[in-house]
Amino acid sequence: MKAVIFPGQGAQFVGMGKGLYEQSELARTLFQSANKILNFDITALMFEGTEDDLKRTSVTQPAIYIHSVIAALVNGLDKSANMAAGHSLGEFSALAVAGALSFEAGLSLVSIRANAMQKACDLAQSTMAAILGMEDEVVEAVCREIYSTTGEIVVPANYNSPGQLVISGSKEGIVSAIALAQQKGAKRALELSVNGAFHSPFMEPARLELAEGIEKTAIINARIPVYQNVTAMPHTSGEEIKHNLLLQLTAPVKWTQSVKQMLADGATEFVESGPGKVLVGLVKKVDRAIPTANVE
């Protein structure tokens, strides 16, 4: 059984999607449609912009969504996939390819999400850190201890793979959590170069703004199960999908749990669609023997 997976923010690169545009009429049509929906030439920024252009959240998230979905459609993954999942932003790509959202509706939501997250980031001094080589339960305990002793919010944000958990929180809370994790034996604990605490209570203003967009969007039953970040379980019901999307911005990404569940449900290969190969690398950390591939 084929599991198709879609990357989140951070996978972007200059020139992303250009090969698809040059080789496929379908890709050209969808890229041109994306420019109209967003009301700016995102195609030019993806193909010829600078790294700084692509780092802007309002560009990064739509660019990764566009590239990921078009790569999947051009390669027929919407027809060959048996299940799908996406990491954070990538969940919107998964839902589009699974037929729960149209390409256009998904892109509109991603654009709302990107702008809302940027505004939420500007409201508070917050950040994220990666904790490596430590059991999830110990990292969770570190987060609770920081909150109970300092009152600073620090929470698990991305369960990426066994021994790799990203945490989110206030600037001061993250600095304290890094020190405590190192003290408790983490192999590495380092602050990430991000401008906010994604998948944490700091994203509540963005969640409220995105909720308006989601409520107005037609989300229908998916053709194949989508393993959503919030539950790490398969969903096809449009209503369930909508409910879980509403929770996603402030809840942790249960990626490790999702991969394990897909394997338990019969996944025999994983194909990453879109820029980069980060997710297939994380899958290999869960099961080294599972076949993986990627399409760009």
Are 56 and 114 contained in the same domain?
Answer: yes
Distance of CA 67 to the CA centre of its chain: 14
Q: How many domains does the chain have?
A: 2
Last residue of a domain, one of 149, 164, 191: 191
Instruction: Mark the ranges of the chain whose per-residue pLDDT is less than 50.
Output: none
Q: Can you give the residue range of the structural domain that contains 21?
A: 2-121+201-295
Q: Is 136 among the domain residues?
A: yes
Are 219 and 244 contained in the same domain?
Answer: yes
Q: Is 74 among the domain residues?
A: yes
pLDDT digits (tens, 9 = 90+) for 5-53: 999 988 899 999 999 999 999 999 999 999 999 999 999 999 999 998 8
Are 160 and 238 contained in the same domain?
Answer: no
Active site residue 199: yes
Last residue of a domain, one of 140, 168, 191: 191
Q: Is 282 among the domain residues?
A: yes
Are 176 and 80 contained in the same domain?
Answer: no
Are 86 and 221 contained in the same domain?
Answer: yes
Last residue of a domain, one of 145, 172, 191: 191
Which among 68, 87, 88, 161 is annotated as catalytic? Answer: 88
Are 131 and 117 contained in the same domain?
Answer: no
Which among 87, 199, 235, 273 is annotated as catalytic? Answer: 199
Please report, for the domain that includes residue 178, its CATH number: 3.30.70.250
Q: For residue 247, what pLDDT is reported?
A: 95
Q: For residue 61, what pLDDT is reported?
A: 95
Q: What is the DSSP string of the chain?
A: -EEEEE--TT---TTTTHHHHHH-HHHHHHHHHHHHHHTS-HHHHHHH--HHHHHSHHHHHHHHHHHHHHHHHHTTHHHH-SEEEESTTHHHHHHHHTTSS-HHHHHHHHHHHHHHHHHHHHHS-EEEEEEESS-HHHHHHHHHHHHHHH---EEEEEEEETTEEEEEEEHHHHHHHHHHHHHTT-SEEEE-S-SS--SSGGGHHHHHHHHHHHHHS-----SS-EE-TTT-SEE--HHHHHHHHHHHTTS-B-HHHHHHHHHHTT--EEEEESS-SHHHHHHHHH-TTS-EEEE-
Please report, for the domain that includes residue 107, its CATH number: 3.40.366.10
Q: For residue 193, what pLDDT is reported?
A: 84
pLDDT digits (tens, 9 = 90+) for 187-206: 999 999 888 999 999 999 99
Are 46 and 90 contained in the same domain?
Answer: yes
